[in-house]
Structure 1
Amino acid sequence: MTTRLYQIAELKGHTDRVWSVAWSPTGNVLASCGGDKTIRLWVSNSDNEWICTNVLEGTHKRTIRSISWSPNGRQLATASFDSLVGIWEQEEGGDYECVATLEGHENEAKSVSWAKSGTLLATCGRDKSVWIWEVGTDNDFECLSVLQDHTQDVKMVMWHPTKEILASASYDDTIKIWKENDDDWYCSDTLEGHESTIWAIDFDKTGEYLVSASDDKSLKLWRCYPPENREGIITDRNEPKWKCICTLSGYHQRCIYTVSWSKVHGRIASSGGDNTIRVFEQEESTISSNMTDKTNFSMIASVTSAHGVVDVNCVQWYPTEKHPNWLATAGDDGIVRIWQLAED
C-alpha cells in the first residue's frame, strides 16, 4: 500500500505571495494572509467548491505575515510587517471588523499565537522580543511581559496545546520555552542543536513533544523530560528539560520554512525553499506508550513543485476528525492549495 498527497483545491484571490494559512478551530473556515495586506476567509460548499467569503483589509499598511484564530473561533489575530498586531472579530451579519490594534514592536511583527485558554496572546518580531498579552473584556489587551532573551530576530511563537507554556523560535538558532511564575514570565529552557535559523515550530497533540524546522535543512523532534524522569535525564532548578530525540535530514534540499504536526493522526508535514512537501510518520517499530530516544520517523509521501517553482511558506493540517488528511499550503505564487493524503 502506498501513500500519496494529491491536490484537491486551488484557491486564487491574493495578488501577492501568501505567507500563512490557519484553519478555524472547527475546520469550517480557512484563513490566509499575505503580501497584499489582506486576509481572506475561505469555505467549501456542498459541492466541495471553495469560495472566498470575506476579504479583510484596510488595517495593515505592510505585509501580513502570520494569522491565528482564537480558541472559540470568533476572533482572528494578525501580525504585520508594519509592527502592528490586528484583532478581528466577526459581527452578527458575518462580516469581520478590526476591533483592536496592538502596538509595541519596534518593527516587523513576525508571528502571533493564541493560547488554548483564550486569555493570552503571544507575538514576536524582528526586534528580538516576545510579547505576552492578556486578553481582557471589550477587546482590551494588556501587555503582561516583554521577553528579550533571544539575541536575534524571533521568527515564530507557538503556545502549548493545553498549558500556558510558550515556545519561540529564532534567527539565533535556538528555541526558548517560556513559563509564568507569580505574574513574571521567564525562560525555563533553551533548546540548542540546529546550526542555523529556526523558522517554525509545532507541538504534538500532547504538548510533550515539539518539532522544529530550520535553515539547516533539518527537522528536529524534541521531548520534554520532567524532573525525576525514569530515563535519568538531568533537569535543572526542578524545571523540565527538553532534549532532541530525532533529527530528520536529507529530505529537503533547501531551507525548511514551515512544519505542521497533526493533532489528529500524528503525522508531520514540512516544506520550504525547495517547493517540496514532505509527510513523515512515526515508524511502527518505535511506537509504544511514549516516544523514546530511539524514535524514528520515515517519509511516507511527498510532492515536488508543490507551488510551481516558488517557495512554500506555510503548511497546516486540518484540525479535526472531519477531514484529518487535508493539508493546506501557502506559497509565493499567491495561491492557497489544499491537498489530501490518501492510501492506494
Structure 2
Amino acid sequence: MMTYFLQDFNICLALAVLICVHMAWGEKEGEKEEIENMTKASVINSVDTAHEDMIHDAQLDYYGTKLATCSSDRSIKIFDVTNGQQTLITHLRGHEGPVWQLSWAHPMFGHMLASCGYDRKVIIWKETNGSWGKLYEYAHHDSSVNSVSFAPHEYGLMLACGSSDGSISIISSTGDGNWETKKINNAHTIGCNAVSWAPATAPNSLFDQQIAQQGLIKRFVSGGCDFLVKIWIEDNGQWVEEQKLEGHSDWVRDVAWAHSIGLQKSIIASCSQDCRVIIWTNDGISNTWSSKILNKFEDVVWHVSWSTTGNILAVSGGDNKVTLWKESLEGHWVCISDVHKGQGTIGDRPASG
C-alpha cells in the first residue's frame, strides 16, 4: 500500500487523496500479464482543507493518522484523518508568504513538522502537551526556501532545505535544545528546488556483511535550476558533492530517493520542466549511476514520490494526472495506473524569490 497526495488549485475542493495500490501478481509470465494483474489505484478518501488559496503540499505522518497541508494563504493545517474522518487539530501561522513544502520527523522525536516558504524561513513545529507551537525558526537564506526534508531517524534529528539563493542548509539538533547549521553555498546555480535523503540502509547490506559493518553514511540528493541532479555526502563533518548527474534539459523540479531495505541497488527519480522523469540507478558496487528515461510527458512534471517499499513511483504534473509506475521483470518501467484529478491543476513551487 502507498499513500500519495494530489494538489488542487481550487481552494475549497478536497486536496488530498489516498491512493491504495494492491499488487495482485499472478503466475503468468511476461510484462503484459503482470500489468493486467494489477488492481487500479483508487481514491479512498478526500479532505476539505478550507485553505484560502492554492495548496502546495500535503503530507501524512509516519502512522498515517495526521495530515498536514500548506498553502499560499501563509498557513499550515494539521488534521486527524483516522478512520476516514477529518478533524482539524491546529491551524499554524508563522510564515509571511506562501508555504511551499512540509516534512514530518520520525515519531521517535515526538510530533514534529518542518515547513519552508517564500519568506526565506524554515520553521520547525512541535506538539507539546496537546498544543502545537514553534520550536525553532531558521531564517538565514537570501531567497525563497523551496524544499525541506527530515533525514532518516538513524542520522539523528536533522533536516535539509534548499533555496532559490542556490544554497542548501543542513540543520541538526545538538540534543541540548540548540541547533547547528551547515550550509552548502552555490549548490545549484540560480536556485535549488528539491532535496531528498538517501535511506540509512546501504545497498547490498542484507547480502554483504562488510557493507553492513561500514556504519552510517549520510547522503542526500538535490535538484536545481542548473538542470542538474547532485548527490551530497558527509565527509569528516563537511558536506561535499559526490556525484553530478546530467540528463535534464530544463529546471529539475523534484527529486526522490527510493526507500531501501538493503537490497541490491540505489534508485533516484527526478522530474523536470523538460517534461521528463529520469530514473537513476546505482548497483552499490561502483560509484557509477546509470540513467533511464521513465517517460516523456505532455506537460511539466512537478512531483515524484516513492511508495514505502520503494518499488512504485507516483508522478504528478501539469497534465492534471497522477500516474503510478513500476519496474517490470524485464527491467522496463511501465505505467500501472493513472488517476485524473478532475478540476484544478497541480500547484508548483516557484524557484525564485
TM-score normalised by the chain length of structure 1: 0.79
Q: For 1:211, which of 269, 274, 278 is the aligned residue?
A: 269
Per-residue CA shift, 1:44-78, capped at 9, x if unaligned? 244x2222222111x11101111111122521111
TM-score normalised by the chain length of structure 2: 0.77
Does 1:109 pair with 2:163?
no
Contact 1:225 1:243 in 2 (8 A): no
Per-residue CA shift, 1:223-275, capped at 9, x if unaligned? 12445x4xxxxxxxxxx23221x21224x311000011112362111111111
CA distance in 1, matches of 2:313, 2:124: 29
Q: Secondary structure at the match of 1:62?
A: coil
CA distance in 2, matches of 1:208, 1:142: 29
User: Aligned Cα RMSD in Å?
Assistant: 1.9
Per-residue CA shift, 1:138-189, capped at 9, x if unaligned? 5422112333231121001111121520111101111111111111211010
Distance change (3 Å), C-alpha of 1:137 and 1:253: same
1:278 — aligned with what?
A: 323
Q: Which has the higher contact order (CA 8 A, sep 6+)?
A: 1
* Counterpart AA for 1:278: T
2:192 — aligned with what?
A: 154
CA distance in 2, matches of 1:272, 1:139: 40
CA distance in 2, matches of 1:77, 1:140: 16
1:144 — aligned with what?
A: 182
Q: Secondary structure at the match of 1:68?
A: strand
Contact 1:281 1:298 in 2 (8 A): yes
* Counterpart AA for 1:263: T
2:290 — aligned with what?
A: 243
CA distance in 2, matches of 1:118, 1:27: 22
Residue correspondences, number:
288
* Counterpart AA for 1:253: E
Per-residue CA shift, 1:15-68, capped at 9, x if unaligned? 11111112212222121111111111122244x2222222111x1110111111
Q: For 2:99, which of 43, 49, 64 is the aligned residue?
A: 64
Deviation at residue 95 of structure 1 after TM alignment? 1.9
Q: For 2:337, which of 301, 319, 339 is the aligned residue?
A: 301
CA distance in 2, matches of 1:262, 1:107: 31
Deviation at residue 7 of structure 1 after TM alignment? 2.2
- Structure number with the higher strand fraction is 1
CA distance in 1, matches of 2:60, 2:252: 23
Distance change (3 Å), C-alpha of 1:111 and 1:139: farther
Does 1:16 pair with 2:70?
no
Contact 1:271 1:313 in 2 (8 A): no
Distance change (3 Å), C-alpha of 1:91 and 1:202: same
Distance change (3 Å), C-alpha of 1:299 and 1:181: same
Per-residue CA shift, 1:276-335, capped at 9, x if unaligned? 11111111x32xxxxxxxx2110011122x051422559xxxxxxxxxxxxxxxxxxxxx
* Counterpart AA for 1:84: K
Unmatched segments (≥5 aa) in structure 1 = 230-239, 287-294, 315-344
The 4+ residue runs of structure 1 with deviation greater than 3 A are: none
Percent pairwise identity: 24
Does 1:194 pair with 2:243?
no
Q: Secondary structure at the match of 2:299?
A: coil
Contact 2:54 2:347 in 1 (8 A): no
CA distance in 2, matches of 1:118, 1:86: 18
Q: Secondary structure at the match of 1:89?
A: strand
* Counterpart AA for 1:217: C
Distance change (3 Å), C-alpha of 1:138 and 1:88: farther
Unmatched segments (≥5 aa) in structure 2 = 1-36, 201-216
Contact 1:100 1:139 in 2 (8 A): no
